[in-house]
Chains A and B, each alone.
Chain A
Amino acid sequence: MNSIAYILLITFAGAGITFIVHHLIKPLRDIIAITVAASGLYFVIQSLTEKTKIVFGIADFNIIWGNTPYSNLFAVLIAVLGFLTILYARDFMAEKERLGYFYMNLLFVIGGMYGIVYSQDLISLFFFWEVMTWSSFLLVIYCCKEAQPIGLKYFVFSAIGAYSLLIAIVMIYAQTGNLELSNILQNFGNISEVNQIVIAVLLLTGFGVKSAIMPLHVWAPDSYSISPSPFTALFSGALSKMGIFGIGMVLFKFASHSGYFSYVKIILAWLGGITALLATFYAIFQTDAKKLLAYSSIGQLGYIIIGLAVGTPLSIAAALFLVILHGAFKAMLFMSVGAVYFRTGTTDMNSVTGLIRKMPLSFVTMLFGIITVSGVPPLGGFAAKWMLYESLIQSKHYFLVIVVFAASTAAFLYLYKLIFSLFLGQEEVEWSHVKEVPLLMLIPMLILSAFVLVAGIFPGLVLDPISHAMQYLGNYGFKYETSVLFNEWGNKINMQTVINVIGAVFLIAGLFVTFKGLKKTRYVTTKDIHTSGEIPEENENLTYAVDFYKPFERAIAPALKASIDKIYTAIGNNLEQAFDFLRYVYTGNGQTYAMYVVLFLSLLILFAELIFGIKL
């Protein structure tokens, strides 16, 4: 047997075993879950060097699993994040109930994602897609009763996605008579152009739901914020990337035949841009840290979609770089916010303040996270942003680059609000009991922090597997060195020099400011501030966190009035009236239904050729 079989087998069997063990011997449960995830990681690393394929038949269909450079990229992301989140979940979830359920579904999600990236035929792709959707739905509604309507929203949108995937798969089967990916890709160009576009758009819709492109993002903020933090890290870090995985496949493997796809791509790129901008604006005005991160996640996925849709080598590289990076930093941020939740029991940014001296390592993780998101050098985010901007400018998307830039500048606002309100600011008495989270929760955060630093200094290390993946996607090559990036005009940025200069100046200035008058430099509490001579009480709240960006809100108020949520609510209300009309159709009389069935069948026969291309 080869690694891929092991990966899928171990993860799915491990999920079941964890559930059973939970009911028999509780302490063993965590160990088994961690072992399963670790062995998954081990076999993923094993599978990187081999190129394997498993073929077996079920009812006339060939089920094929195999790995490509492109799927390896995502598999590593899933494996690492899966392992780290399960490690993180050990202490985070210790006090919670129904842990067997939790771990089983978590491992099912991980297994489903492995399945998606390793599927080489559409049947198993759809199967694993559904496994992932179902188990993630079960995790969204895990916490409490309040989660159920939110879970329903997630499920409805997932169902829309699943149906459009299913229709697309059926259409593909009807047109090519085959469901194996390699065959489909060869014959796809022979289908009529209209069908190509329809299939591609359906597939993009299906995958787009998971990666929360506007206007399909409505489920995301609530679902992200209500699900338990370890899972949210995986949800936003890896699960949303499955949509990106699919979109990448569609754009470069399916959609490379017809000339009309350039329009689809432009629309997709602009959707990505609007997603990035609006999600950022919404994120700025959130008061719940997880909801803020959820909107931020939607925005970041917008950048990735732009990168893929623009489709120059540099932009694809930027998008895939962001895929890896977003997996890392969003997991970091969710874990860090999770750490705050773990100790304070809330993620409300208006009430939690001043944890920096109590949770210094969580603070450092969040600091690294926000520097990466904002794209400020020297961390990894800069390399990604740099490639994205350069590629957008050079591929003549002048206004898109402005939108992207506005979004990423506005991102400073919510990032600062996040770190300021949780960790900085007044140290209130209310949170004086808080202390740093246990070691097992810190390890994943610190590993990821180290990774974003390395990715910033040596982007080439991450770009190596990415360039392999791009070779697979369609022979895209671009120029880079271990720590030097080039754009298409031949300008370069040397990250090594950047980090040297920043490091040297920072060190010199830091030493100067530390040792200058060291003895006479003293620490004072945050109550000892300039308050015009007034002496604040011990429990007086001096924090400025509520309505933090009121001036900005006033400035962009008109733009925020229209909300997609409202549109959907309006549609929902109108649908009620529409269903009133349906009552005339569904009369409850058996004879009427029989007539409908006959009508439907005759219609199918009449238009079969038109719809499915099948001659009866």
Chain B
Amino acid sequence: MEINWSAVLGIVFTPVIAFLVGVTYGGLTRRITARIQNRFGPPFYQNILDIIKLYSKESNINHGVMQHLGPVFAITASVTTLFFIPVIKDSPVFTNFSFNGDLIFLLYIMVFGSLGMALGAGQTGNPNSAIGVSRGLSQLVGYEVPFVMALVAIMVQFQTTSLNDLLAVQDHFTKWIIFQSPFAFLAAILAFLGMMGYAPFDVVIAPAEIASGPPSEFGGKYLGLMLTSRSIFTFAKLVLFTDIFLGGAHDFITLIIKTFILYMIPVLTGIVFPRFRTEQSIRFFWSWPLFFGILAILVVVF
């Protein structure tokens, strides 16, 4: 049997790169937040140190097998999501399995991790975790609807559900879907704010309110794995949005520029806003984003 070495290379390096980029973005976020608050802020590699420290914790506790597996579910979802997204356009190495899946698959695999995490958090028996999960799932219903509307509009417009086909359509920057279908972009980017979970939509974690919610009983290696998964997942979502709306990237530099710009939208929004209540958050997603979503579909249909 002949081994496709470029594919193997992709499988090995994509998660590593995703983790490094994601974790650096996390550190930079903390630094940018600090500068906006007139502070000096931690170094950009702070999150890597945090994760190493969490892995090097000597004792760990769990409340049972579901809590043990909760972070595993999360990282499975993140890495699988990443593998089914073409990270670099037309590259034999970094497209991974993207030809075997499509957008609807991605929609579902993206919630796989949250559900696994929710099960893990549920087993801890901490009321704060349960409250966090309840809020998170409620909010999920909120932002998934406009996001799906945006995706449906795009799928219908280009008659495909495959990310690779969407990338092929956007071969010139004037053909980026952000310009071709601006309402879909608006709906999706507003949903993206909820997806990333920064303020004003950070009802799930809400540290000062419900003791960091679902992860409140997770420490040591479990929390480390969760943060790893979150870094990878952040990058995966950014690449997904870049691929859908910004025409993907032929090389890593373009990719990093595009994803960073995209990433700054929720981060900068988060810094200046306080937190919504859960029902306000849901109602928000069902107002303007939903309106833009309907508009996007109507524009495509007529």
Which residues in A have some Cβ–Cβ distance to B below 8 Å? 354, 356-357, 367, 371, 374-377, 382, 385-386, 389-390, 393, 396, 398-399, 401-402, 405-406, 409-410, 412-413, 416, 419-420, 424-427, 487, 489, 491-494, 497-498, 501-502, 505-506, 509-510, 512-514, 516-517, 520-530, 542-545, 548-552, 554-556
Contacts and interface: CB of A to CB of B under 8 A. Distances in A.
Interface in B100-128: 100-102, 104-105, 108-109, 111-112, 115, 118-119, 122-128
B104 A386 contact: yes
Nearest to B277: A551
Interface residues of B, number: 81
21 contacts: A374-B115, A376-B108, A398-B156, A405-B145, A412-B115, A413-B138, A416-B118, A419-B122, A420-B130, A498-B100, A501-B79, A509-B76, A514-B68, A517-B57, A521-B60, A521-B62, A521-B221, A542-B125, A550-B134, A552-B279, A556-B282
Contacts of A402: 145, 148-149, 152, 293, 297
Interface string B277-299: 11100110010000001000100
B63 interface: yes
B217 interface: yes
Contacts of A549: 134, 137-138
A522 B80 contact: no
Given A529-B217, A552-B141, A505 B79 contact: yes
Nearest to B153: A398
Contacts, number: 239
Contacts of A517: 57-60, 220-221
Contacts of A505: 75-76, 79-80
A398 B297 contact: yes
Nearest to A420: B122
A523 B123 CA distance: 12
A576 B149 CA distance: 47
Q: State the 8 A-B residue pairs at the shortest beta-carbon distance, nearest first.
A: A526-B125, A551-B278, A424-B122, A494-B100, A552-B138, A555-B282, A555-B279, A544-B130
Contact of B133 (A420, A501, A525, A550): A420
Interface in B125-178: 125-128, 130-131, 133-135, 137-138, 140-142, 144-145, 148-149, 152, 155-156, 159-162, 165
Interface string B53-81: 00101111111111011011101100110
A389 B152 CA distance: 10
A416 B115 contact: yes
Given A396-B156, A424-B125, A489-B160, 13 more contacts: A356-B65, A377-B109, A385-B108, A386-B108, A412-B111, A425-B130, A492-B100, A516-B55, A523-B63, A526-B125, A529-B124, A530-B217, A552-B137
Given A393-B152, A491-B102, A523-B62, A409 B130 contact: no
A412 B137 contact: yes
Contacts of A409: 111, 140-141, 144-145
B108 A493 contact: no
Residue from B57, B134, B301 whose CB has the most chain A CB atoms within 10 Å: B134
B225 interface: yes
Contacts of A556: 282
Contact of A501 (B83, B108, B152, B225): B83
Nearest to A401: B152
Given A530-B126, A544-B131, A493 B59 contact: no
A396 B134 CA distance: 34
A374 B152 CA distance: 20
Nearest to B155: A393
Contacts of B83: 501
B169 to A, nearest CB: 13
B126 A529 contact: yes
